[in-house]
Structures are given as structure tokens and as C-alpha cells.
Chain A
Amino acid sequence: MGLEGSFAIAEAVRMVNADVISAYPITPQTHIVERLAEMIADGELDAEFICVESEHSAMSACVGASAAGARVFTCSAGQGLELMHEVLYIPASMRLPVVAVAANRALSGPLSVWCDHSDAMALRDIGWIQIFAENNQQAFDLTVCAYRMAEDQDVLFPAMVHIDGFYLSHVTEDMELPAEADVADFIPDYEYPFVLDPAKPVSMGCYGPPFIYFEAKMAQNVAFEASKSKILEVWKVFKETFGRSYEPVETYRMEDARTALLTMGSISESAMLAIDELRSEGKAVGLIRLRLWRPFPFAELREAVKNLDCLLVLDRAISYGMGGPVCGEVKAALYDKRQDLAIVSYIAGIGGRDVTLDEFKYMINRGEEKAQLVTLGEELEPEIIGVRE
């Protein structure tokens, strides 16, 4: 069936039978909450919809509801995620399985409602499981999976699904919706173990002076890193149940590739077309897509690049004075094991600027030349694609 990305996500939230939805409108996330409000108004979903007065309160209400045992949902974008930023650390440190969708959007100023990954890159250290979707089917599937990951009793961390604003949120694509009963089996009712309940009082969110704060944060990090095996398990069960496969790092036509492009989000699908064309011209090139952004998939990334001479990393955000943030992380992740690998940085698609097929082909072709310079020891600045000078 044909479904807009936003509506696909609303369907996922309906099928997992969320109890509390708390959200504030911001483009390009609005269609998700509008559809959810309709579902509640029509009795298709039995949930409390808290129409809060800000994104800060949206996440705060989710935190309160989750601590009281509810299955919750919120979504936001760009400036909204920035306003929410302070609160995002709370469910991660208090181990609350909040699920959120980010419809990725550029940050002001100038004001822009269009897509890039600036907002996502500002959220790297919030302690949430973070997953990138490339199309509407994935947006649906990964939202459903996010609940199972977050609510696993050995995980109990919040999870965020990133979709590209407009490219997914406002585009209708053909997709498959599973049977509601199958989703209900996949996401059963859960009981939060430390729920706010007068029958068994707990103190949540206490004050941590220096003698104990560090230990609390270490415990959080150890538990977060351990969540990766559960994330893999969820995707394994999802594949067995629904037939679609997800992995922390996914590859495309990498069989004999010596050069590969690395992407995240919807841009990956355009990149595949470029890989197909270059392959038909006889070039041994492939594509690597980072699906799981946090916890970072070190082992899977190393495995994916093991036969490469040249890796081209495409960032959809700028870290001012530093370059492409994803490229920086990829370099750091590979430094210990693959100092022989030439890594080239590109920045494109900022503030909704489309990246064309020719630009992808240029990046890959030019990347191989640049890689030779890198091998010779030359230090290269990130190359900016598609900007007027």
C-alpha cells in the first residue's frame, strides 16, 4: 500500500498500542502527530494525547509517563530537538524506555525547515539508542523495533528513530504493513520494574555528589554498551517474524569493491543508483550505510571496510571548524586497525539541498584520486558538494 512516511510511523505507534503521546508541532514532524491525534479522536488508538506547550515539556511528559509505567511516544525535529535537548539525557540516565522519532531538519539560522543531519549530530551523546531509516518501510519497521529494544528488561534505554524530514516524512511510498496481531505479539505489554507506585515507593532521579556520580555514569555506559547484543537479537526476531532484515552496518554491492561510499538516511537510496551506474561501467565500487548510530557499531564497520583501499564518507552536517562529524567518528573508529585505509570526507545536502546522481558519481570517481593523495600523506580538507561559491 502507498503510505506517507509520517503516516507509516503513526501506524507503528498505533499497532504497538502506545498509552501516552506527548508532542509539540514542528515542521516536518507535524503529519505524524496530526495522524495520531486523528486516530485517538476516531477511537482507533486508546491513548492520552498531551498537547504540550513546548518540546521541552513534550519529552518531560514522556519521562513522567514512562516512569509511571506507560508506553510513550513523541517526535520532533530541528529546533524542537534542540529545545528538548536538556530533557533527552534524563530517560537515558533514569533507564526509561521512551521511544521518539526525529524528522531530521537543519538548524537556525537562517531558519530552515528542510532536511539535513545537524539536529541528529547535536544528539550524539544523549545516551539513546539511535537508528537511521532510509525509506518509509524502514521507518515503520524500525519504530516497531525501537519499542522492543527499549523495553527489553536488560536494556531499558530510550530509543530514537531518525527519518529525513520531507524526504521520508512527506513522501508517499509503496510499503507493506504487517498484521496488527503480529505486531502485538512482537511488542507485548511490558511492566516497568521500578514504576512510580504508592504500593512500592521508589525515589527516582536523586542527587549524585562526586563520591557516587561517576559510578552512576559508568554503570550507565556499561549497560548501554551491553544493549547492542539485545538490539541485534531484536532484529533477528524481526527478520524471523516479518521477513525483513536489519543490521547495524548494511552494505550494497560490496563484493569485490576496493572503494566504497558511506552514507546515512534517505540519501543512501540515491547513492545506490550511482553505485549501479558505476558498476555497469565496470568500476568495483560499493556502498556502506550506517544503520545503528548509537551504540556505535565498531566491529561491524571494521568488517565492512576490511577489503577496501578507499572509504568516502558523506556527511549531511557540518561541525564548524572540524569538518564532517560522521567522518570524524568513522576515522576514530578505524584508526587502531586500519591506518592503511584512505578516508575522504564530503559534505553535501545541507538545508534540503538535493544531491544529484551526477554528484554522487563525481564524489566516487574523484574520491579515488583523492585517496591516492591521502596515501601519499597529503592532508585534505572536506570537499563541499553542490554549493555555489
Chain B
Amino acid sequence: MASMRGEGERNDLEQAAELFTPLLLTTDENFAPGHRACIGCGEALAVRHVCKALGTNVIVVNATGCIEIFSSLLPQTTWRLPWIHTLFENVGAVVSGVESAYKARIRKGKIPDRGVKFVGIAGDGGTTDIGLQALSGALERGHNILYCCFDNEAYMNTGIQRSSSTPYGAWTTTAPVGKHSIGQMTWKKNMPEIVVAHRIPYMATACPSYPLDLMEKVQKGLETEGPAYLHILSVCPTGWRCAPEETIEFGRLAVETGIFPLYEVINGDYRMSLDFPVLRPVKDYLRRQGRFRHLTEKDIDRIQARVDEDYAKLREKAGVK
């Protein structure tokens, strides 16, 4: 049951946008406007940037989650790229199958080799929790794929339930704040490091608040022979309890405080994409989000200490003095 959309169609808004778009970016929107994401959705923005960088010679495999729900409501689709969604936890396996099909059919002379690339996309739940096994399998087997995790730090699609990617101290509906709870009681799972442990050729963190950096990393990931992984922080005003017009700013604050450092690991070598010898205090980031509203000075100090420690370790790995 597939639905199709004509190629090359442009509406007035897209044509107008061309006037104000710097020439260094393509004006093509492979992820079309008109989807159903919340106002200020950082994930929709990130997907749009990623799709610009992907070009059109790709196949996208999507996990169940916000992106799939807001982009594919029958009988419409936001996707101008060939796109498939099946289940929540199996993107790593489905994209492995798509890649293997092309590999076998090209080798057997059934189709020409047109250099098609294969991209898996999922949220933090579909990556760090339920989809971790399928992703690990795909990375370990060495498929020629790019996997993008859009991390909005909770199960936002089902109503802001905690995931293993939810940061310490954040309120969610399943990690509520109460007499015996400060919200999320565990530290955010370090998914980028878990990926790096698979010793794949390319891993990077990114954020749509830094669109050129994000797009450059997508292109590097596509060009990589073997598995590449991007971990993309995607601000969620709905779940983070912040103003929708502050999405870009919160992405920047996450990076500038060292909470979400931007870095690459290329064949095992760490490289800081942006380095801050002096970090902004984490309270600049935490204090303005509703999900952290309840934190005491002591809680914030604990988070600050953890961020300082992690950031120092990362700089050391990257050889930054």
C-alpha cells in the first residue's frame, strides 16, 4: 500500500524561500513542508536539514515515532525520497535488508549500480532503548549505511515518557517529580560512545542549531564506506516545556554548556567540532526549561560536576589541551 507524490512540485512558499536562502545551501526540500510536527519542533528541522544534505539518491528507513507519525499520515506523505516505515525497534535490520538487496541485485546484474545510499532514522527510544539490538547488529555486520538518531530525550510521541536518553533530573510523565523523586533518577545513556565501541568508521554528534555542521556531517556519513552514525540533539519544546521560538537557542545552549558537545570520531580518532575552553554554566540551559524547573542548587551542582568531568574526558580523547 504505497502512496506517491509527483517530483519537482513547488509551492509558492518554497519559491519565495529561494529568494532568502544563501547560495551555499540547496533550495531543494526533499522533506516537504506541510507535515504535522508541533510548533518549534527541533526534530522536524533536523530532518529537513538532513534531507537537504542527503540529496535524492537515497532510500530512507524510518522507525515508528514522532517523525513517522507527523510525516506519513495516509493518504499524504512529506517524503520526496523513497521511504519505508515498518516498526519501532527494527530500523537497523530493515536498512540492512534494503542495502543487502541492492548489493545482491547489482552483483547479479539485475539492476545497474547508480550509487544509491541507505539511511536509517529513528528517535532516541527507537535507538537507545527498543532498537538498540537491531542497530548494534547492523553496525557489527558492517553494512554500508548511515544511521541518524534524532534525540529529543524522551518518548515524546506517546506523551513525554522517559527513555534511557532522558537526562538526569528531567521531569517526564513516567519519571514524575514527587516527594521521593527528582524526575529522571539515572544519567543519560551515552549512545555515541556505545556506537564508537563498535569501531565503525564514522560517528558524529550534531544539532540543527548548527545547520552547516550538521549537513557536513551527513555528507561525510554518506561518503563513508561502511556504517556511519549521527547522534542529533533535537530540541522538543512540547516535552522540554520551553517556548517554541527558543528551539535554536536551546540547541546552542546544550552545546555551549558542554551538555551536548559536538564532536566526530573518524576511524577511532576523536575531533571536537566546536571546543569551549570555558563552558557556560549548565544552569543557563537548565533554568529556563520547565522539565528542570524543580531542580535545587545542589542538583544543578551535581549535574555541573558530571558535565565538567565528561567534557574534560572528551577533550582528552580529542587531544585538546
Which residues from chain A sit less than 8 Å from chain B, CB to CB? 19-20, 22, 46-48, 50-54, 56-58, 60-70, 72, 86-87, 90, 93-95, 189, 194, 196-209, 212, 216, 219
Contacts and interface: CB of A to CB of B under 8 A. Distances in A.
Given A48-B104, A206-B77, A209-B74, A56 B90 contact: yes
B50 to A, nearest CB: 16
Contact of A196 (B4, B84, B136): B84
A207 B73 contact: yes
Interface string B1-19: 1111101000000000000
B124 interface: no
Given A53-B134, A67-B98, A198 B59 contact: yes
A19 B101 CA distance: 7
18 contacts: A20-B101, A22-B97, A50-B141, A53-B136, A61-B96, A63-B86, A64-B94, A66-B97, A70-B100, A87-B86, A196-B84, A198-B82, A198-B116, A201-B5, A205-B72, A205-B85, A207-B69, A207-B74
Contacts of B95: 64
Contacts of A56: 89-90, 93, 134
Given A53-B134, A203-B77, A64 B84 contact: yes
- The CB with the most chain A CB atoms within 10 A, among B4, B74, B80, is that of B74
Given A64-B96, A64-B100, A206-B3, 18 more contacts: A50-B141, A56-B89, A57-B134, A60-B94, A60-B134, A63-B97, A64-B84, A69-B111, A200-B4, A201-B5, A201-B79, A201-B80, A203-B72, A204-B83, A204-B85, A206-B73, A212-B75, A216-B1
Contacts of B140: 53
B273 interface: no
B130 to A, nearest CB: 10
A64 B85 contact: no
A94 B100 contact: no
Contacts of A53: 133-134, 136-137, 140
B188 interface: no
B97 A20 contact: yes
B29 interface: no
Interface string B98-141: 10111111011011001010000000000000000110110011
Contact of B56 (A57, A198, A216): A198
Nearest to B68: A207
Contacts of B87: 60, 86-87, 90
A20 B104 contact: yes
Given A51-B141, A54-B133, A196-B59, A61 B82 contact: no
Contacts of B90: 56-57, 60, 87
A216 B110 contact: no
Contacts of A212: 74-75
B93 A64 contact: yes
Contacts of A196: 59, 82, 84, 98
B54 to A, nearest CB: 10
The 4 A-B pairs at the shortest CB distance, nearest first, are namely: A64-B97, A57-B93, A61-B97, A70-B101
Contacts of A50: 96-97, 100, 141
A168 to B, nearest CB: 28
Secondary structure call for the B interface:
mixed
A64 B82 contact: no
B110 A48 contact: no
Contacts of B227: none
B74 A61 contact: no
A61 B4 CA distance: 23
B108 A19 contact: yes
B97 A202 contact: no
Nearest to A18: B104
Interface string B182-206: 0000000000000000000000000
Nearest to B94: A64
Contacts of B137: 52-54, 57
B94 A203 contact: no
Contact of B84 (A52, A62, A67, A70): A67
Contacts of B101: 19-20, 48, 64-70, 72
Contacts of A206: 1, 3, 72-75, 77, 85
Contacts of A64: 61, 84, 86, 93-98, 100-101
Contacts of B94: 60-61, 63-64
